[in-house]
Structure 1
């Protein structure tokens, strides 16, 4: 009789202890265990909302839109700032806002001070946007200021690399068909996913994305994804391949969520969507 009473008690104790043990192992995991379908979906498990930030309310960049999960039941979230490319506005990369936020991130798609700003200026603006997001924004209490990343298209991609070089405390960087006159990035210490496009005639992979990737330190967690048959403007419209690997990269390195390692290592093979993929698997 005593044994029969003891078994449910032990089971209850183990059930109660398991989530705590998991949380202690990685307190940054957010959302359910991922599947291939879940990271390819147009929306993830988190409901989201957005708020506009006027250029008149900020300094150092041109304002933008913040997308964020509405529930804080699981705690704070990592965050990423995203820059558009030359002559582009935040509308050109706005699709990434709700898509990434619904996977458990606070996402800031920004406008730059001028649509003609060069990559290094965009780098400074990405960092200014992150500082605003974590220190002054209306959603700052939702953001873990120690878990931040940067992304950007074209010159915004070049700015992403410079921002990563400038602020090594960042957790992830993803240049999207990036453009920069500087081809050497050996001092970058931020895990970086370089995404290029096979048919890019504005920032050809042979003179931009490939040398960017190759110049990153061999000891760095890094990857190179080349989109099959895509052009320079592939990141400006909803793209499942870009989303899938960006989500996996951000989850793996901003959230330290090794549940997403399966989508990055072993490296995916060539396909109708991927022309080439290189990686430094296994990740540290």
Structure 2
């Protein structure tokens, strides 16, 4: 029996509709978020999320982006305060994301919703599989059940194949447990982070000028006084979480699809 040094829980949720190619009225982006927390810390993390969901967001029901009042979704100061309070009172946790700009996405078969979702989860689990392998860890996997049984089976098999391929060994995570975001505060938090990210990137696409999109100055969005887009502090906070470093593993979990190293709007995905 393997003697794993750490036991983790992984909570995966997404935001945006899965339609590819993008049609009128659908979201510009599709975003997947995973939160990793040590199994021994999960209850403390849940308590912190629940406490500040009520105190800072005025939500009596479980945390979920769609449950937030419309005016609060635009209240960046309130959202960033919520995120700061959760981090302050929580044990260590990790965030990793895949951001898909659907107008830049193409490839054989990606118009199929299941194949598309599997591919994006596969990008994320390349990183997660490497992390579990290098840190000699094991994880329980929890994913939002907002898919049909056929899609769930397809995703389960695909993730296992990806982790096997990139580590050369049996997956170090369990088969997915499918639950609703309202049934676990950490899964609700993953949904909330995806919602904040989708809001921020949608604002960017709809409001930033064409000249700003072409800007090649590194980190220009942090310092530019001429941009007509105001960088959201809440998204910057989430972005910072993607660059946590653990012993023997440099996380850098913020990924961007379709090309990991493509020079598309790099100022939005580079840490300050």
Question: Which structure has the larger Rg over C-alpha atoms?
Answer: 1
Greater relative contact order, per chain length (Cα 8 Å cut-off, separation 6+): 2
TM range (shorter): under 0.3
Structure that is richer in helix per residue = 2
TM-score (norm 1): 0.26
Q: TM-score, structure 2 length as denominator?
A: 0.27
